Amino acid sequence: MANLRWSMLVFFGLILAQFVPASLVFAQEADGSKIYKKVVPSVVWIHSNRPRGYATGTGTLIDLDRKLVLTNYHVVEEEPTAKLYFPTISNGQPKAEKKYYKDRASLAISGRVVARDKRADLALIQLERVPEGIVAVPLSLTGAEPGQAVHSIGNTGKSDALWGYLQGKVRTVADKKWKAQLEPGRVLEFHAKVVETDSATNPGDSGGPLVNEKGELVGVTQGGALDAQLLSTFIDVSEVRRLMNSDDVKRIRGGSKVTATVTKRTTATTLSDAAKMFKEETTKAAQTDIDDFFKTQKLDVLVETFAAVPMKDAEKVKAMKSTERIAYMKDWSKSRVATEKASGFGILICNDPKSLYVDLTEDAKARFPDDFAIKVRDKLIDGLKKDKRDESLTEVLKMIRDNIKK
Taking only the tens place, the pLDDT of each residue in 169-215 is 999 999 999 887 766 667 788 999 999 999 888 888 999 999 999 99
Q: What is the mean pLDDT of residues 307-317?
A: 80
CB 13 within 8 A of CB 362: yes
Q: Report the alpha-carbon distance of residue 233 to residue 219 in Å, rounded.
A: 9
Confidence band of 94 (pLDDT split at 50, 70, 90): very high
Give the CA distances from residue 86 to residues 52, 131, 213, in Å, rounded to whole numbers and listed in that order.
25, 8, 22
7-16+261-403 and 17-259: identical CATH topology: no
User: Where in the chain are the domains?
Assistant: 7-16+261-403, 17-259
What letter represents residue 141's amino acid?
A: L
Confidence band of 255 (pLDDT split at 50, 70, 90): low
Instruction: Return the pLDDT at 137.
Output: 96
51 DSSP 8-state letter: T
138 DSSP 8-state letter: P
Instruction: Return the pLDDT at 221.
Output: 96
Neighbouring-strand partners of residue 154: 164
Burial class from Cβ neighbours inside 10 Å (0-12, 13-18, 19+) for residue 321 reads exposed
Instruction: Return the pLDDT at 26.
Output: 32
| CATH architecture of structural domain 7-16+261-403 | Roll (3.10)
Residue 275 pLDDT > 70: yes
Average pLDDT value over all residues in the chain: 85
Instruction: Return the pLDDT at 377.
Output: 92
Nearest Cα to Cα of residue 350 among 373, 378, 398, 317? 317
pTM of the model: 0.58
Q: What is the mean pLDDT of residues 149-176?
A: 95
Other beta carbons less than 10 A from residue 110's beta carbon: 13
Fold annotation for 17-259 = Thrombin, subunit H (2.40.10)
- Is the model more confident about 231 or about 383? 383
Q: Report the alpha-carbon distance of residue 306 to residue 167 in Å, rounded.
A: 30
Burial class from Cβ neighbours inside 10 Å (0-12, 13-18, 19+) for residue 3 reads exposed
Q: What is the pLDDT of residues 358-380, one digit of tens each?
A: 888 888 888 999 889 999 999 99
Instruction: Return the pLDDT at 256.
Output: 42
Residue 98 pLDDT > 70: yes
Neighbouring-strand partners of residue 233: 196, 223
Q: What is the mean pLDDT of residues 17-42?
A: 62
Instruction: Return the pLDDT at 239.
Output: 96
Q: Report the alpha-carbon distance of residue 263 to residue 338 in Å, rounded.
A: 10
